[in-house]
């Protein structure tokens, strides 16, 4: 291991990219987690459907000439062909469900993949990708066809941009027309709260300032429209009521739903409010209902150390040819990482610019902590690359770090140029050439903080919370503090906020799915949530990462398919195997990266028989493609 002492930085060769890493740090501050799961990526840019042009879409999509602004919102669902193979609608709904006589309205952007098998048509399955703030439009375009392969092509797949998000209007926008201010503000990011003594004080003050600025700007925009602030009406409770209305407009009597990450809270609110209207509900990667609704967030990192330990274990097990950070024992790998992090606190790595027009990069303790935290979402895909980055950083080489964070969209490019007609133009989230335009970190805090109610913390009590979280989850706790920190200084309450009880006798039992170790939605949350609903069942996937999609499992996909097709629940105590482990498996039969093994174990340990070979092949392909394409909240604005 190489450590450079006595200097303030380590110099490494210039990379091909020359953008400021400071923006990557700040993008992670409010945006590392999510979701959201998976295909949800949320950036720092603001979004507006009315300014969206399809100039940068693939030719097959651009030829449609589709623009959301050309569709007049309607109080009934009027479907339009969009993006070549999808159907889209804009639905006008009340801003205030508790006072529908209020003339203020919202417009929801809704998207559908129609069923292709109508011989046994079972209606629509609604999905939410998580976040909060994930765009249903974006996620369905990216992953909807694979979700349909799993639930069955005799279902429509429907999703939507929840109120305040993406192509729905009006938009949650903390910065008004001053779009560049959002980027400039991020330059003042102070790093994770354990990077240096006293940083929490700065972070707390900074969060308070952002909260006040956001609320003031949103209030000002609402006054200009002659309305109350949108922030009063973006709670998950209102979104659940919106989803009920969309369902009714489709002519469907009961809900079929697959929610991921934060989307499980949306599902839980719906199930608690309307239990008799739940026909099927898959809750995948579970937020703790009670903690979310009270803004406590004390157990969400419960499994994160298990996943970090898996990095050490599987790196050692795989050997030096596969894991670049290999050592002779897992404990030695842990020690090397601790030493590297300690060195970065005093000796950040400097990556010089390639040319005079670009900027140098600084790789600090905070930036590496955020990368490690993000990698816990997708161990199978990211652990090998993380090992390469760590080994390079030991030698003072920051280029692999820059390459990895660029490849996975974790870095935000700061520029003073305005890519649109003026700096006040806000880009759309639905742009295949720039997936970072899905939503904003503004959205995540706005929804989470109104869902959780008032945050009475003083600086001293927040320090106690931060100390607890860091001690209980050393790998991710310092980054995780940022989530609750984003609610400091929020004063505008939700007008409609469901706080429980989260229980009920649903028309059909809920299926909860949890990984054996999930970094932000632990298995214990699924079990606690299931206790409140009659007949609910928990399926465990024997894997690491966030939601079942982080480690594709033909077994899990098969259970989900059977549940939607026939209503059959897995046996009590079932555990689904996966086809790949971190650092392991290599190239195996079938779809690249997947072996032929498939298994479910019941309480007695019996194997469940393989199903139809054609269905298994389709499920295997869908599970693999979802694992590859799912963004898993890698640094783009959402939380869960």
Domain assignment of residue 119, yes or no: yes
Instruction: Give the CATH number, domain containing residue 129.
Output: 3.40.50.1820
Backbone angles phi, psi at 156, to 5 degrees: -70, 155
> From CA 87, how far away is CA 81, in angstroms rounded?
5
Averaged pLDDT, 597-609: 40
Mean pLDDT of 356-376: 92
Structure tokens at 407: 């490849």
Rounded CA-CA distance 551/377 in Å is 10
Of the chain, the percentage scoring pLDDT greater than 90 comes to 69
What local confidence, expressed as pLDDT, does residue 414 receive? Answer: 63
Report which DSSP code applies to 632.
T
- Has residue 34 been placed in a domain? no
* Least trusted range by pLDDT, from 103-117, 175-189, 375-389, 500-514: 175-189
Q: Are 495 and 233 in contact (CB under 8 A)?
A: yes
Domains of the chain: total:
1
- pLDDT attached to residue 406: 83
* Burial class of residue 50 in the structure, from the number of CB atoms within 10 Å of its CB (0-12 exposed, 13-18 middle, 19+ buried): middle
Q: Alpha-carbon distance 156 to 268, whole Å?
A: 22
Residue 74, SS3 per DSSP: strand
> pTM for the complete prediction?
0.86
Please give the residue that has the higher pLDDT: either 297 or 38: 297
Name the 3-class secondary structure at 538.
Answer: strand
What are the DSSP E strand ranges found in 74-172? 80-82, 86-94, 105-113, 123-128, 155-161
User: In this predicted structure, what is the pLDDT of residue 49?
Assistant: 28
Residue 363, in any domain of the structure = no
Looking at residue 207, its pLDDT comes to 95
The pLDDT of 61-81, averaged and rounded, is 81
Give the pLDDT mean for 605-627.
76
Instruction: Quote the Cα angle for 377-382-388, to 5°.
Output: 140
Q: With a cut of 90, say whether residue 63 has pLDDT above it.
A: no
* Phi, psi of 279, rounded to the nearest 5 degrees: -95, -40
* Predicted pLDDT of residue 115: 98
Q: Where is average pLDDT lowest: 42-46, 349-353, 442-446?
A: 42-46
- Give the torsion sign (CA, 542, 543, 546, 548): negative
pLDDT digits (tens, 9 = 90+) for 509-532: 999 999 999 999 999 999 999 999
In this structure, the strands spanning 278-284 and 511-517 are parallel
CA–CA separation, 85 and 27 (whole Å): 33
Listing DSSP states for 78-105 in one string gives --EEETTTEEEEEEEEES-TT-TTS--E
Nearest to 498 by CA among 202, 345, 292: 292
28: nearest Cα among 387, 367, 413, 488: 367
Relative to beta strand 575-576, strand 537-544 is parallel
| pLDDT band for position 616 (cuts 50, 70, 90) | confident
Domain span holding position 560: 74-178+234-300+497-592+611-629
Q: Are strands 600-601 and 575-576 parallel, antiparallel or unpaired?
A: antiparallel
Question: Quick one: pLDDT at residue 606?
Answer: 42
- pLDDT mean across residues, the chain: 83
With respect to residue 357, please indicate whether it lies within any of the assigned structural domains: no
Task: Flag whether 475 is in a domain.
Answer: no
CA–CA dist 544, 519 (Å, integer): 8
Q: Is the bond preceding 372 in cis, omega lying within 30 degrees of 0?
A: no
| Mean pLDDT score, 276-301 | 98
pLDDT score, position 592: 31
The answer to whether position 309 is within a domain reads no
Residue 584 lies in a domain: yes
In a domain, 289, yes or no: yes
Does residue 467 register a pLDDT over 80? Answer: yes
Q: Token pair of 544, please? A: 């690491």
Please say whether the beta carbons of 130 and 38 come within 8 A: yes
């Amino acid at each position: 291991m190489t450590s450079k002492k006595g200097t303030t930085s380590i110099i490494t060769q210039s990379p091909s990219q020359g953008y400021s890493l400071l923006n990557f740090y700040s993008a992670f501050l409010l945006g590392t987690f999510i979701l959201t799961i998976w295909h949800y990526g949320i950036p720092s840019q603001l979004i507006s459907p009315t300014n969206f042009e399809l100039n940068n879409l693939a030719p097959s999509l651009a030829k449609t000439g589709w623009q959301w602004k050309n569709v007049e919102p309607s109080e009934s669902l009027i479907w339009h062909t969009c993006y070549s193979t999808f159907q889209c609608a804009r639905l006008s709904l009340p801003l205030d469900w508790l006072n529908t006589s209020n003339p203020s309205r919202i417009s929801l952007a809704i998207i559908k993949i129609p069923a292709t098998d109508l011989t046994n048509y079972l209606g629509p399955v609604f999905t939410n990708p998580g976040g909060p703030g994930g765009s249903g439009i974006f996620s369905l375009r990216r992953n909807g066809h694979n979700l349909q392969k799993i639930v069955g092509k005799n279902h429509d797949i429907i999703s939507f941009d929840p109120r305040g998000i993406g192509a729905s209007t009006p938009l949650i926008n903390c910065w008004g027309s001053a779009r560049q201010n959002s980027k400039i503000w991020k330059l003042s990011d102070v790093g994770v709260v354990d990077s240096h003594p006293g940083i929490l004080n700065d972070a707390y003050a900074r969060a308070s300032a952002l909260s006040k600025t956001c609320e003031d700007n949103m209030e000002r925009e609402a006054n200009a429209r002659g309305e109350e602030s949108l922030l009063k009406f973006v709670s998950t409770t209102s979104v659940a009521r919106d989803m009920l209305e969309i369902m009714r407009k489709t002519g469907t009597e009961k809900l079929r739903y697959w929610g991921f990450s934060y989307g499980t809270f949306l599902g839980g609110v719906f199930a608690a409010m309307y239990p008799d209207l739940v026909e099927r509900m898959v809750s995948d990667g579970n937020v703790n209902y009670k903690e979310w609704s009270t803004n406590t967030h004390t157990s969400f990192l419960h499994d994160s150390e298990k996943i970090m330990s898996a990095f050490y274990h599987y790196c050692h097990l795989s050997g030096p040819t596969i894991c670049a950070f290999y050592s002779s024992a897992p404990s030695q790998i842990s020690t090397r990482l601790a030493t590297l992090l300690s060195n970065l606190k005093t000796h950040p790595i400097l990556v010089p610019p390639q040319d005079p027009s670009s900027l140098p990069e600084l790789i600090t303790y905070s930036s590496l902590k955020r990368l490690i935290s993000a990698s816990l979402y997708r161990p199978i895909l990211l652990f090998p690359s993380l090992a390469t980055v760590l080994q390079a950083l030991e030698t003072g080489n920051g280029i692999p770090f820059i390459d990895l964070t660029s490849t996975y969209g974790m870095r935000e490019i700061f520029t003073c140029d305005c890519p649109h007609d003026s700096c006040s133009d806000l880009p759309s989230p639905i742009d295949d050439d720039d997936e970072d335009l899905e939503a904003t970190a503004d959205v995540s805090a706005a929804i989470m903080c109104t869902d959780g109610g008032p945050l009475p913390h003083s600086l001293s009590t927040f320090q106690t919370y931060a100390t607890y979280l860091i001690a209980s989850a050393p790998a991710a706790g310092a980054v995780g503090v940022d989530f609750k920190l984003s609610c400091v200084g929020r004063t505008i309450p939700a007008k409609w906020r469901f706080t429980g009880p989260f229980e009920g006798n649903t028309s059909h039992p809920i299926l909860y799915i949890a990984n054996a170790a999930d970094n932000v939605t632990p298995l214990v949350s699924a079990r606690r949530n299931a206790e409140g609903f009659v007949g609910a069942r928990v399926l465990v996937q024997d894997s690491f990462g966030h939601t079942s999609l982080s480690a594709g499992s033909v077994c899990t996909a098969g259970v989900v398919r059977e549940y939607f097709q026939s209503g059959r629940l897995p046996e009590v105590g079932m555990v689904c195997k996966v086809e790949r482990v971190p650092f392991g498996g290599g190239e195996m039969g079938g779809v690249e990266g997947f072996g032929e093994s498939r298994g479910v174990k019941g309480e007695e340990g019996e194997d469940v028989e393989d199903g139809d070979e054609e269905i298994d092949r389709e499920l295997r392909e869908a599970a693999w493609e979802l694992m590859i394409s799912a963004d898993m909240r890698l640094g783009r604005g959402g939380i869960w």
